Amino acid sequence: MSVLVYTESENGKLKKSAFEVASYAKAVADQLGSSVTAISFNATSNDELGTYGVSKVLNVTDDKLATFNALAYANSIAQAAKNENIQVIIVSSSTNSKFLAPILAAKLKAGYVPNVVAAPESASPFTVKRTTFSNKGFAHTEITTETKIIGVSNNSFGLKENATTAAVEAFNADLSDADFSVKSIEIDKVAGQVTIADADIVVSGGRGLKGPENWGMIEDLAEVLGAATACSKPVSDMGWRPHGEHVGQTGKPVAANLYIAIGISGAIQHLAGVSSSKTKVVINSDPEAPFFKAADYGIVGDAFEVVPKLIEKLKEF
């Protein structure tokens, strides 16, 4: 039973999540006594996948697929899976993968489980631990369909080196105009910023920061840490920050290694989207703020005093 992994890239460079899903796929393949084939789209760094146990890479070189297109990507992966006689597909739990995987599942009549947060279980890699109820609990879910799709949460399994040589082949699926019936015409992206989905560290601000004019210190802290910036829902609703920074149940999910919440109360809807993060640090002037109950580390204090001192100290390293 061969394992196929969809490895995401940006501007030709594989994302960190690509190596994490490859590591996960290798663990599944080892249990099955099988090998890992990756499918990437216009990536130029495919040979790096060998470090994480991928022995073959199908690199899609079609220019029409230079930018993400859920239907066309899903069709390409489905064709690759059929050609390679694949029954297990591993993807990340990014927004794009969550868009693509249900289409792929419908095409292959596969069972799909997203948000998997633990290593494959020793009894069967197809009984997986995933988050549920907006990250307030875990479910152990079994996939019994012949073809299976597993979506792995970012920063949950980690990178596991398993050096082999990846043979890279060009692969282009047979696509029709119908596959491009919905497509992005133009994508506006703020240059030079770390995106929330790919960030190891996220620095997030809430209403406690009083106004958009005070976000300089959030950006400075993020810059020192190489982090992405985020915010609570009211902050983006009031237009203090762009909507793309809104995290939580109705915003972007965060599964960072470190999440720093500044002036955020820790409402249940906020926590629902950020509690998968490994370490949560809370800075809040109210010792009764609910976020402290979910925090690994907390600083009770005025953000306007604490954050500048933190930046100063971090700059010394």
- Residues forming contacts to ligand FAD in the complex (CB under 6 A) are 206-208, 232-235, 248-251, 263-265, 267, 269-270, 273, 283-286, 289, 302-304
Q: For residue 71, what are the CA distances in angstroms to 5, 175, 181?
A: 17, 10, 9
Long-range CB contacts for residues 195-198, cutoff 8 Å, separation at least 24: 195/228, 196/228, 196/230, 196/244, 196/245, 196/247, 196/252, 196/254, 197/94, 197/95, 197/154, 197/252, 198/15, 198/16, 198/17, 198/154, 198/228
Identify which of residues 130 and 233 has a Cβ nearer to ligand FAD in the complex.
Answer: 233
Q: Which is nearer to ligand FAD, 125 or 298 (CB)?
A: 298
Q: How many CA atoms lie within 13 A of 175 on its CB side?
A: 25
- Report the residue number, 173 or 303, with the smaller CB distance to ligand FAD: 303
Q: Which of 252, 273, 231, 261 is nearest to 135 (CA)?
A: 273
- In angstroms, what is the minimal distance from the CB of 210 to ligand FAD? 7
Cβ nearer to ligand FAD, comparing 142 with 296: 296
**The total number of residues written for the chain in this structure:** 317
Q: How far is the CB of 266 from ligand FAD (least distance, A)?
A: 7
CA distance 86 to 1: 7
We find the least distance from the C-beta atom of residue 241 to ligand FAD, in angstroms, to be 11
Q: Closest approach of Cβ 99 to ligand FAD, in Å?
A: 19
**Of residues 18 and 303, the one with the C-beta less far from ligand FAD:** 303
What is the Cα–Cα distance from 151 to 276, expressed in whole angstroms? 15
Q: How far is the CB of 291 from ligand FAD (least distance, A)?
A: 7
Shortest separation between residue 204's beta carbon and ligand FAD, angstroms: 9
Nearer to ligand FAD, 138 or 304 (CB): 304
